[in-house]
C-alpha cells in the first residue's frame, strides 16, 4: 500500500485565499490518480485557530471553514472512494486548542472544578505559586506550563502543554475526555472515513506524579529520549485499546500511530492485537544517505514489524522534518539520492508514505523571510529555531512563477520560491525523466507485484558503500549505490533505475530494480 500525505494548507487552493483547501484536493484528484497512490492521509482539517495549523483543535467534530465544511469533506471522500482510494484523517487526542470550549470553561470555573480536571491544572511552586509546577519544557521551546489569571483577576494555577500554550494537554484518565474521543471517532467513521493517523500516540498519558525530569534529559519532539517520563507511559495503551474498540465496529478501518519511540520492544507494544493497527516507524527520516545507516534504519523498522506482527511502514519525510532532497545534500545530488531512496522504500514490504511535494522533488525552503515564518517554534525559541515552515511551502502546479497555479491569490500563506518553475507538476509531467515521472512509473510497477506476506527481506552481498536486498517474495532486487564511484550491476534485467545507468554500471547516488 502507498499512502500520500496531504498537508491541506499547502496542496491546492480553490478559493484564492492563499491557503489550500478540500475543494482544491477534489479539483486536483487526477494528480493522485495518476500518481497511483492507494489513499490519502490528510493532516488535520478540524476546526482550529491554526496556531499549529490544525494540530490545535477547537471543535474535533467539524471542518474548519478555512478548508471547507463537512459536506466538502463528504464530497472528497466520495471522490476518493470512486477512484478506489482511502481517506485517513488526522486525529489529535493529546491536546485541544486553548479556544476549545472546555478550556474556556476550565478558566471560568476555577481550581478544583470538574472542568479543570479534563486538563492538567496544578498550583505553582514557590510561596506565591509563581513558579511552574515542575521543570518540564515544551517541545516547541519555553516551559510546558502557562499560568492563568483567575476570574477574580489574581494570578492563579498553571496548565500543562507539551506543545504550544495554545495546545493544552488533556488528561486521558478522565472518563469524560475519552468518552468525547469515542464520539469524535464515531463522527468521522459514520461519515465514511477509512481510518485515523493518531497524533502523538506515544504521549497520550502522563506520569501521575508529574515529577521533575532529570536535568540531562534531551528534549525532542522526534525520537524522544527514553528517560523522558512524559512519553510512553503505560496509560497510553489503555487509550489505544479504547480507540481500537470503536474501530472494530467499523470493519476495514485502521489506525496509524505517530510513535516516536526507538526501542523495538516498546514500539511493538503499541501494535498489540487490541491496539493500533499500524505505527509510523521514522528511522529513515533520520538516516543519512550512507549504506550502513540506511541498512540499520531498514533493519530497525523490520525488527519492529517482526516484534509486533504489524506491517512495516516507511517514510522519507513528513510535515515535521526536513525534506529528503535537502537532507541528502540539496541540488542535483540531493535529488538523485531522494530518487534512489524512493526505489528503496517502494521495494520494501509494507506501507510506504509519500509526503506531498516529495513526488516533485521539492527541497525544504530555508529562504522564507523571517517575518513570514508561522511555526510556533520560531517564537517559542526566541528565534533560535526556524521551525517547520520550510517543508510546508505550497506545491507548484504550473506556470513559471509563484504561485505556480497553487492559488489565484498573488500571495500564498507561505511565500513560494521563484526558482520552482522546473518543479511544477506541469513541467514534470512533460518530462519522462522527471522525479514525478519516476514516482508514477515506480508506483505503477510496484502495484503489479503481489502483496508481500511477510516483513522479511534478504540482504545480498554488494560492493562497499552499496546495499542490495530482495523482499522474501522477491519481485525485484533493489540495489542502491551510496559510494562515490560506479559499481558493476548484479545479473538481471533492469526494471527501473532512479537515474540513467552507466553501461553495465550503477552510478553513485542511484538505485536500480533488477529482475533476476
Ligand atoms: C505531532 C504533529 C506535529 C504537531 C504536534 C503537536 O508531532 O506531527 O505537526 O505539531 O504533534 O500536535
- Ligand 1 atom at shortest distance from the alpha carbon of 95: 12
Of 435, 408, 418, the residue nearest 328 (C-alpha): 435
Per-residue model confidence as pLDDT tens digits over 330-353: 999 999 999 999 999 999 999 999
| CA 343 to centroid of ligand 1, rounded, Å | 28
- Is the beta carbon of 169 within 6 A of some atom in ligand 1? no
Q: Please state the φ and ψ torsions of residue 206, each to the nearest 5 degrees.
A: -115, 155
pLDDT at 216: 82
- Is the beta carbon of 496 within 6 A of some atom in ligand 1? no
Confidence band, pLDDT 50/70/90 cuts, at residue 115: very high
* Contact predicate 57/100, CB 8 Å: yes
Q: What is the dihedral of CA 95, 101, 102, 104, to 10 degrees?
A: 100
Take atom 4 of ligand 1 and give the residue whose Cα is closest. 55
- Is the beta carbon of 52 within 6 A of some atom in ligand 1? yes
- Is the beta carbon of 198 within 6 A of some atom in ligand 1? no
- Is the beta carbon of 375 within 6 A of some atom in ligand 1? no
Average pLDDT value over all residues in the chain: 96
| CA 43 to centroid of ligand 1, rounded, Å | 10
List C-alpha distances in Å: 297 to 286, 344, 457: 8, 12, 13
| CA 200 to centroid of ligand 1, rounded, Å | 7
- Is the beta carbon of 53 within 6 A of some atom in ligand 1? no
pLDDT at 114: 98
| CA 319 to centroid of ligand 1, rounded, Å | 9
- Give the span between the Cα atoms of 41 and 192, in whole angstroms: 14
pLDDT at 400: 97
Pocket mutation for ligand 1, best pick of 55, 60, 224, 375 (most atoms within 8 Å of C-beta): 55
| CA 198 to centroid of ligand 1, rounded, Å | 10
Confidence band, pLDDT 50/70/90 cuts, at residue 227: confident
- Ligand 1 atom at shortest distance from the alpha carbon of 320: 9
Say if residue 152's pLDDT is above 80.
yes
Region 483-496: mean pLDDT is 96
- Is the beta carbon of 199 within 6 A of some atom in ligand 1? yes
DSSP line for 379-433:
HHTTTSS--SGGG-PPPP-SSSSTTTTS-SSSS-SSPPPTT-GGGSHHHHHT-TT
Grid cell at residue 151: 476570574
Per-residue model confidence as pLDDT tens digits over 240-299: 999 999 999 999 999 999 999 889 999 999 999 999 999 999 999 999 999 999 999 999
List C-alpha distances in Å: 226 to 7, 135, 229, 272, 510: 29, 17, 7, 20, 36
Say if residue 105's pLDDT is above 80.
yes
Tally the C-alpha atoms within 13 A of residue 386's C-alpha that lie toward its C-beta: 16
| CA 161 to centroid of ligand 1, rounded, Å | 12
pLDDT at 362: 98
pLDDT at 226: 77
pLDDT at 221: 63
- Ligand 1 atom at shortest distance from the alpha carbon of 376: 10
Region 139-144: mean pLDDT is 93
Pocket mutation for ligand 1, best pick of 8, 199, 380 (most atoms within 8 Å of C-beta): 199
Q: Which of 39-48, 85-94, 213-222 has the lowest mean pLDDT?
A: 213-222
Say if residue 218's pLDDT is above 80.
no
Amino acid at each position: 500500500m502507498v499512502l500520500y500525505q496531504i498537508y491541506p494548507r499547502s496542496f491546492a487552493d480553490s478559493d484564492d485565499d492563499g491557503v489550500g483547501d478540500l475543494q482544491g484536493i477534489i479539483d486536483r484528484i487526477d494528480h493522485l490518480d495518476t500518481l497511483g497512490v492507494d489513499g490519502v492521509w490528510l493532516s488535520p482539517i478540524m476546526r482550529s485557530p491554526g496556531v499549529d495549523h490544525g494540530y490545535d483543535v477547537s471543535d474535533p467534530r467539524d471542518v474548519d471553514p478555512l478548508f471547507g465544511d463537512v459536506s466538502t469533506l463528504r464530497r472528497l471522500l466520495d471522490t476518493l472512494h470512486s477512484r478506489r482510494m482511502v481517506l485517513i484523517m488526522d486525529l489529535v487526542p493529546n491536546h485541544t486548542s486553548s479556544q476549545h470550549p472546555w478550556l474556556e470553561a476550565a478558566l471560568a470555573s476555577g481550581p478544583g472544578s470538574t472542568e479543570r480536571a479534563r486538563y492538567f491544572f496544578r498550583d505553582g511552586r514557590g510561596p506565591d505559586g509563581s513558579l511552574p509546577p515542575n521543570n518540564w519544557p515544551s517541545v516547541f521551546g519555553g516551559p510546558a506550563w502557562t499560568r492563568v489569571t483567575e476570574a477574580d483577576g489574581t494570578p492563579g494555577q498553571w496548565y500543562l502543554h507539551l506543545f504550544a500554550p495554545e495546545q493544552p494537554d488533556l488528561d486521558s484518565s478522565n472518563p469524560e475526555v475519552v468518552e468525547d474521543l469515542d464520539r469524535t471517532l464515531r463522527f468521522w467513521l459514520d461519515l465514511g472515513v477509512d481510518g485515523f493517523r493518531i497524533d502523538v500516540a506515544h504521549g497520550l498519558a502522563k506520569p501521575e506524579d508529574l515529577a521533575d525530569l532529570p536535568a540531562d534529559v534531551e528534549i525532542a519532539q522526534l525520537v524522544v529520549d527514553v528517560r523522558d517520563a512524559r512519553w510512553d507511559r503505560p496509560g497510553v495503551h489503555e487509550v489505544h485499546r479504547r480507540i481500537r474498540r470503536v474501530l472494530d465496529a467499523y470493519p476495514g478501518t485502521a489506525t496509524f500511530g505517530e510513535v516516536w519511540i526507538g526501542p523495538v520492544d516498546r514500539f511493538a507494544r503499541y501494535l498489540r492485537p487490541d491496539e493500533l493497527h499500524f505505527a509510523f516507524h521514522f528511522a529513515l527520516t533520520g538516516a543519512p544517505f550512507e549504506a550502513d545507516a540506511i541498512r540499520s534504519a531498514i533493519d530497525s523498522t523490520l525488527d519492529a514489524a517482526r516484534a509486533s506482527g504489524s506491517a512495516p511502514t516507511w517514510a522519507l519525510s513528513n510535515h515535521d522534518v526536513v525534506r529528503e532532497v535537502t537532507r541528502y545534500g540539496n541540488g542535483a545530488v540531493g535529488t538523485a539520492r531522494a530518487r534512489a531512496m524512493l526505489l528503496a522504500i517502494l521495494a520494501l514490504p509494507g506501507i510506504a508514505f509519500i509526503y506531498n511535494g516529495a513526488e516533485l522533488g521539492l527541497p525544504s525552503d530555508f529562504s522564507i523571510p523571517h517575518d513570514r515564518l508561522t511555526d510556533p517554534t520560531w517564537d517559542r525559541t526566541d528565534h533560535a529555531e526556524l521551525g517547520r515552515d520550510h517543508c510546508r511551502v505550497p506545491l507548484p502546479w504550473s506556470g513559471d512563477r509563484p504561485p505556480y497555479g497553487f492559488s489565484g491569490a498573488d500571495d500564498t500563506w507561505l511565500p513560494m520560491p521563484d526558482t520552482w518553475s522546473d518543479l511544477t507538476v506541469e513541467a514534470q509531467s512533460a518530462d519522462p525523466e522527471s522525479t514525478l515521472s519516476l514516482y508514477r512509473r515506480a508506483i505503477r510497477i510496484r502495484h503489479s507485484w503481489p502483496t508481500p506476506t511477510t516483513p522479511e527481506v534478504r540482504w545480498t552481498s554488494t560492493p562497499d558503500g552499496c546495499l542490495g536486498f530482495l523482499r522474501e517474495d522477491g519481485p525485484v532486487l533493489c540495489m542502491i549505490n551510496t559510494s562515490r564511484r560506479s559499481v558493476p550491476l548484479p545479473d538481471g534485467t533492469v526494471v527501473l533505475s532512479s537515474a540513467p545507468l552507466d553501461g553495465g554500471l550503477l552510478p553513485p547516488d542511484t538505485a536500480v530494480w533488477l529482475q533476476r
